[in-house]
Structure 1
Amino acid sequence: MQRICVIGGSRYFGKLLVERLAATGHQVTVINRGSHQPPAPVEHLVVDRNDEASLLAALGPRTFDVVVDQVCYTPVQAAIAARAFAGRTRRYVMTSTIEVYDPATAALPAVPAGVPVREESVDPATWRVALDLPWHDEAYLDAHYAEGKRQAEAVLTRAGGFAFASVRSAHVLGGGVQEFTGRLAHYAEHVRQGKEITVHAKALPTVFIHYEELADLLLWAATATGFRGPVNACSDGLLDVRALTAIVAAQAGRDPSYRVVAAGEPASPFSYDRHYAMSNARAKGWGFAFSRTVDWLPGAVAEALAASPAPAPAA
């Protein structure tokens, strides 16, 4: 049994992670602001992680074997966490994102299309940190989501006081109504309703992961290994937007309707005119076995279709 603190962990794959940690006998403490109740039986500390004094007061004398941070989006949040948990945990795992590799959001090493991006393409040990940017502003943070994650990783990598690992998640799908991003629901609705799906003329493939598999990988990262640094989390196999839509269309029994947009213009989720699909070789090398996207995606699509509005009857 380990003492594990999960920051966030009250919905989607975070909630599932907490449930699985508790089910495997770990002593779990969940920290959040109280808007969502964690699954029982776990300890629940209601506190704003952005308020350092309140966080320290809530933690009291507690120590942990591992902290899993599901909701660290900025270097300021990371700096508060680094101070609060230094000497209080031996290991800190942060949930990060494939978006750290998006070449539209930073000057990154060029990777040829079709070559999976490896973790060293974004090295948090050398990434520049700017704590004085307006990270508290929601609009700024939304527009700089990828950079916030890169800088958060950088702060925690350099913090000392604990071993640090970041899990860079691919696009997460599955869970039907639980899937709060709504991206698979977008396709289910558009195909069923005959709405246009906007795509780039040369849409490039990306990578995905099922929410249950991501929960499993986070549990593994927290409890079963001693690795440090970033690790990519994605199921095997790349899909572009048309291949994904074809799976939706096959189950919906309707042909999709596409409209092509110019390079650089906004398009439907998962239509990319730039390449940053990840490699999962590092996690495999450390012993994690991934599923294949094409094996679990039809089930996730069925859940999304079941939750999407039925087409309106013809007049």
Structure 2
Amino acid sequence: MKRICVIGGSRYFGKLLVERLLGAGHQVTVINRGSTPPPAGVEHLVVDRDDEAALVTALGVRTFDVVVDQVCYTPVQAAIAARAFAGRTRRYVMTSTIEVYDPATAALPTVPAGTPVPEQNVDPAGWPVAMDLPWQDTAYLEAHYAEGKRQAEAVFTRAGGFAFAAVRSAHVLGGGAQEFTGRLAHYTEHIRRGEEIAVHAKALPTVFIHHEELADLLLWAAGADFSGPLNACSDGPLDVRALAATVAAEIGREPVYRVVAAGETASPFSFDRHYAMSNTRARELGFAFSRTLDWLPGAVAEALAASAATAA
């Protein structure tokens, strides 16, 4: 049994992770602002992680074997957490994102299309950090999501108060109404209604992961001893047309496409740039991934059921 702290953990795969940790017999503490209570048996600290003094007070004399941070988006948040948890935990796992590799948001080493992007393409140890940017501004943060994650990783990597790992998640799908981004629902609804899906003429593949698989991986990562960034994605990249075809097969209606030029806004997961990740490192460390096409039809069926329930 380990003492594990989850920051966030109130929805989607974070909530599922908390349940997995409990089921594995761990002692779990959840830190969030209290919008959703955790399951029975979980200690709940209601505090705003951005308030360093309040966070330190709430932690008291508690120590943990592992902290899993689900909701760190900026270097400022990372710096607060690094100070607050220094000496309180031996290991810190941050949930990061595939978006750190997006060449549209930073000058990154070029990877040929078709070559899965490895972790070393974005090295947090050398990534520049700018604490004085307007990270507290919601619009700025939304527009600079990828850079916020890159800089947060960099802060934790250099903090030195604990072993640090960053799980860079692929695009997360599954769970029906729990999938709060609505990106899969975009496809189920557009295809069901015969509406156009905007795609790039040369849309490139990306990678995905099921929300349950990501919860399982984070559970595994909490008990592992690797450090540094780790890519998390199911096997089998898909481009937007392959994704739409899977949705269409469940609905029984052909998708309607509208082609947009490179650089123009398109439907979710239509990318005119390459940054599909490699999951080789995680595999070599012992995690076995599923295949995207094995779980995607079920995720589509969940999205359709959620849509029908809402309409009813």
By the TM > 0.5 criterion, same fold?
A: yes
Code of the residue aligned with 1:19 in structure 2: it is: E
How far 1:309 sits from its partner (Å)? 4.8
The answer (yes or no) to whether the contact 1:189–1:309 under 8 Å persists in 2 is no
The answer for the alignment partner of 1:228 in structure 2 is 227
* Cα distance in 1 for residues equivalent to 2:208 and 2:245: 16
Consecutive unaligned residues in structure 2, runs of 5 or more? none
The answer for the alignment partner of 2:238 in structure 1 is 239
Code of the residue aligned with 1:289 in structure 2: it is: A
How far 1:104 sits from its partner (Å)? 0.2
Code of the residue aligned with 1:88 in structure 2: it is: R
Deviations 1:126-149 (A, max 9, x none): 000000000000000000000000
How far 1:308 sits from its partner (Å)? 2.0
Alignment of 1:167-206 (within 5 A): 167-206=167-206
Q: TM-score, normalised by structure 2?
A: 0.98
The answer (yes or no) to whether the contact 1:206–1:238 under 8 Å persists in 2 is yes
More divergent stretch after superposition (62-71 vs 247-256): 247-256
The answer for the alignment partner of 2:78 in structure 1 is 78
Code of the residue aligned with 1:229 in structure 2: it is: G
Deviations 1:148-175 (A, max 9, x none): 0000000000001100000000000000
How far 1:261 sits from its partner (Å)? 0.3
Consecutive unaligned residues in structure 1, runs of 5 or more? none
Q: TM-score, normalised by structure 1?
A: 0.97
The answer for the alignment partner of 1:99 in structure 2 is 99
Code of the residue aligned with 1:51 in structure 2: it is: D
Alignment of 1:291-306 (within 5 A): 291-306=290-305
The answer (yes or no) to whether the contact 1:246–1:256 under 8 Å persists in 2 is yes
The answer for the alignment partner of 1:253 in structure 2 is 252
More divergent stretch after superposition (160-169 vs 301-310): 301-310
* Cα distance in 2 for residues equivalent to 1:249 and 1:270: 16
* Cα distance in 2 for residues equivalent to 1:175 and 1:25: 24
* Cα distance in 1 for residues equivalent to 2:136 and 2:205: 33
Code of the residue aligned with 2:46 in structure 1: it is: V
Deviations 1:184-237 (A, max 9, x none): 0110110101111000000000000000000000000001x1100000000000
The answer for the alignment partner of 1:283 in structure 2 is 282
The answer for the alignment partner of 2:60 in structure 1 is 60
How far 1:49 sits from its partner (Å)? 0.1
What SS is found at the alignment partner of 2:95? strand
* Cα distance in 1 for residues equivalent to 2:165 and 2:211: 19
* Cα distance in 2 for residues equivalent to 1:236 and 1:254: 26
The answer for the alignment partner of 1:215 in structure 2 is 215
Alignment of 1:109-128 (within 5 A): 109-128=109-128
Is residue 54 of structure 2 the alignment partner of residue 16 of structure 1? Answer: no
What SS is found at the alignment partner of 2:186? helix
Deviations 1:241-278 (A, max 9, x none): 00000010011011111100000000000000000000
What SS is found at the alignment partner of 2:126? coil
* Cα distance in 1 for residues equivalent to 2:38 and 2:185: 25
Deviations 1:273-308 (A, max 9, x none): 000000000000000000000100010011111122
The answer (yes or no) to whether the contact 1:10–1:39 under 8 Å persists in 2 is no
* Cα distance in 2 for residues equivalent to 1:41 and 1:254: 46
* Cα distance in 2 for residues equivalent to 1:256 and 1:67: 43
Runs of 4+ in 1 over 3 A off after TM superposition: none
How far 1:39 sits from its partner (Å)? 1.9
What SS is found at the alignment partner of 1:296? helix
What SS is found at the alignment partner of 1:96? strand
The answer for the alignment partner of 1:268 in structure 2 is 267
Is residue 128 of structure 2 the alignment partner of residue 138 of structure 1? Answer: no
Is residue 7 of structure 2 the alignment partner of residue 7 of structure 1? Answer: yes
The answer for the alignment partner of 1:33 in structure 2 is 33
* Cα distance in 1 for residues equivalent to 2:148 and 2:37: 26
> Considering only aligned residues, what root-mean-square deviation do their CA atoms show, in Å?
0.9
* Cα distance in 1 for residues equivalent to 2:17 and 2:197: 33
The answer for the alignment partner of 2:51 in structure 1 is 51
* Cα distance in 2 for residues equivalent to 1:36 and 1:119: 34
The answer for the alignment partner of 1:108 in structure 2 is 108
Code of the residue aligned with 1:52 in structure 2: it is: E
The answer (yes or no) to whether the contact 1:165–1:228 under 8 Å persists in 2 is yes
* Cα distance in 1 for residues equivalent to 2:43 and 2:19: 12
* Cα distance in 2 for residues equivalent to 1:165 and 1:182: 28
How far 1:37 sits from its partner (Å)? 1.5
